[in-house]
């Protein structure tokens, strides 16, 4: 769902920057009230995991593939505001380091996947968690529906932006985008439930069930959290070697509706474009190094942002 440059009109991509900037700014302010020093590693590791998981494309039928969005996962483990910060960091690194999504279109991509996705997931998850019962079944139902809705809402926003740009008629692109992402959303829900089911079995306390609570691990817990997420990151990097080569939902819709050629050439050359390590002939080694480098960059950048937020919170107090 990463829009490239050239698909959106100037007015629409500027509006995307303004809307996403407003949402991200509000999330940074809210995160200051929630984050603690002990939460910093979790934000870094979760960002790295979502980045690595998005490298794994899975086939969904009709010659189309999809990949994890991760907005619901971030919301359920961190809460809304920190989740928006995490998703913003992931998308920014993908754009500037891996050339995934256009530079001008980045504002729209942030709005769709880092703002609309998490807000939708949070609203659905929180609404369903008001139903009595804190057992695993209740959490899984809320997780699955929140994940599905976050993907569909983000795709609907993307389709609307394309229509407003005059790229393709709303009557064509909206049903095409939402229908294919309804299918991708099912996979998103299943994958997110599997991940949270695993986390529930080993670290149930990581999953937010109370309004406003955010996990704050102690020194001993921190080591366990690091080990847990390192295992998850390693698993998804290994799975990326089996990633589907089929076009994703947006690419497939663009091909079918005939606006795939509307994209423009990238305005810069990213160092690890297309998630490959330059100069290596081995696809296996190239993908592995790019994925590992991306995960490390995500940990450093996301944890650095979280630490800066905590530091500024201390200064104010």
Q: Is-contact 146 73, C-beta < 8 A?
A: no
Position 313 scores a pLDDT of 63
Instruction: Give me 49's structure tokens.
Output: 């995991």
Q: Could you list the residue range(s) of the whole structural domain that residue 89 is in?
A: 10-316
Among 1, 2, 128, CA closest to 76: 128
pLDDT at 269 over 70: yes
Q: Is-contact 129 142, C-beta < 8 A?
A: yes
* CA-angle at 76, arms to 302 and 233, nearest 5°: 50
Mean pLDDT of 244-266: 86
Q: Is-contact 241 57, C-beta < 8 A?
A: no
Q: What count of other Cβ atoms lies within 10 Å of the Cβ of residue 301?
A: 18
Q: What count of other Cβ atoms lies within 10 Å of the Cβ of residue 221?
A: 16
Among 114, 91, 115, 112, CA closest to 103: 91
Tokens 């998981």 correspond to: 53
With respect to residue 261, please indicate whether it lies within any of the assigned structural domains: yes
Position 214 scores a pLDDT of 46
User: Which residues, in sequence order, are bridge partners of residue 65?
Assistant: 59, 248
Position 193 scores a pLDDT of 93
With respect to residue 192, please indicate whether it lies within any of the assigned structural domains: yes
Position 208 scores a pLDDT of 61
With respect to residue 125, please indicate whether it lies within any of the assigned structural domains: yes
Among 186, 177, 102, CA closest to 144: 186
CA distance 70 to 293: 20
Q: What count of other Cβ atoms lies within 10 Å of the Cβ of residue 315?
A: 7
Instruction: Give me 291's structure tokens.
Output: 């994925």
Q: How many folded domains does the chain comprise?
A: 1
The one-character DSSP state at 248 is B
With respect to residue 1, please indicate whether it lies within any of the assigned structural domains: no
Mean pLDDT of 40-66: 88
CA distance 68 to 191: 8
Among 120, 91, 109, CA closest to 17: 109
Among 11, 20, 25, CA closest to 161: 11
Min mean pLDDT across 116-120, 149-153, 227-231, 247-251 is at 227-231
The distance of Cα 91 from the centroid of its chain, to the nearest Å, equals 7
CA distance 315 to 317: 5
Helix pair angle (117-129, 80-98), 10° resolution: 150
Q: Is-contact 308 300, C-beta < 8 A?
A: no
pLDDT digits 0-9 by tens, 76-113: 988 899 999 999 999 999 999 999 999 999 999 999 99
CATH number at residue 268: 1.10.1760.20
With respect to residue 4, please indicate whether it lies within any of the assigned structural domains: no
Among 46, 52, 76, CA closest to 213: 76
Among 117, 110, 131, CA closest to 72: 117
pLDDT at 218 over 70: no
With respect to residue 3, please indicate whether it lies within any of the assigned structural domains: no
Most confident listed range (59-73, 158-172, 202-216): 158-172
Mean pLDDT of the chain: 86
CA distance 194 to 226: 19
With respect to residue 41, please indicate whether it lies within any of the assigned structural domains: yes
Q: Is-contact 177 155, C-beta < 8 A?
A: yes
With respect to residue 294, please indicate whether it lies within any of the assigned structural domains: yes
């Amino acid at each position: 769902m990463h829009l490239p440059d050239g698909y959106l009109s100037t007015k629409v991509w500027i509006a995307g920057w303004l809307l996403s900037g407003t949402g991200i700014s509000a999330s940074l302010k809210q995160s200051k009230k929630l984050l603690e020093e002990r939460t910093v590693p979790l934000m870094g590791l979760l960002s790295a995991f979502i980045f690595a998981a998005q490298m794994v494309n899975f086939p969904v039928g009709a010659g189309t593939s999809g990949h994890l969005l991760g907005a619901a996962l971030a919301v359920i483990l961190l809460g809304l505001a920190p989740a928006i910060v995490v998703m913003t960091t992931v998308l920014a690194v993908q754009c500037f380091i891996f050339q995934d999504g256009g530079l001008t279109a980045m504002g729209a991509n942030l709005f769709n996947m880092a703002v609309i996705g998490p807000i939708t997931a949070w609203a659905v998850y929180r609404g369903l968690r008001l139903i009595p019962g804190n057992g695993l079944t209740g959490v899984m139902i809320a997780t699955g529906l929140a994940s599905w809705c976050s993907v569909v809402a983000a795709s609907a926003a993307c389709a609307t932006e394309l229509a407003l740009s005059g790229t393709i008629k709303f009557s064509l692109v909206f049903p095409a985008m939402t229908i294919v992402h309804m299918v991708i959303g099912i996979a998103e829900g299943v994958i997110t439930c599997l991940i949270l089911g695993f986390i529930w079995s080993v670290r149930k306390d990581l999953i937010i069930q109370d309004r406003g609570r955010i996990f704050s691990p102690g020194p001993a817990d921190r080591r366990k959290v690091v080990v847990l997420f390192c295992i998850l990151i390693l698993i998804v990097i290994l799975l990326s070697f089996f990633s589907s080569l089929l076009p994703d939902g947006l690419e497939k819709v663009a091909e079918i509706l005939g606006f795939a050629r509307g994209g423009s050439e990238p305005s810069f050359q990213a160092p690890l474009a297309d998630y490959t390590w330059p100069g290596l002939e081995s696809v296996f080694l190239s993908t592995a190094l790019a994925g590992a480098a991306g995960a490390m960059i995500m940990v450093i950048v996301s944890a650095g942002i979280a630490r800066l937020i905590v530091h500024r919170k201390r200064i104010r107090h």
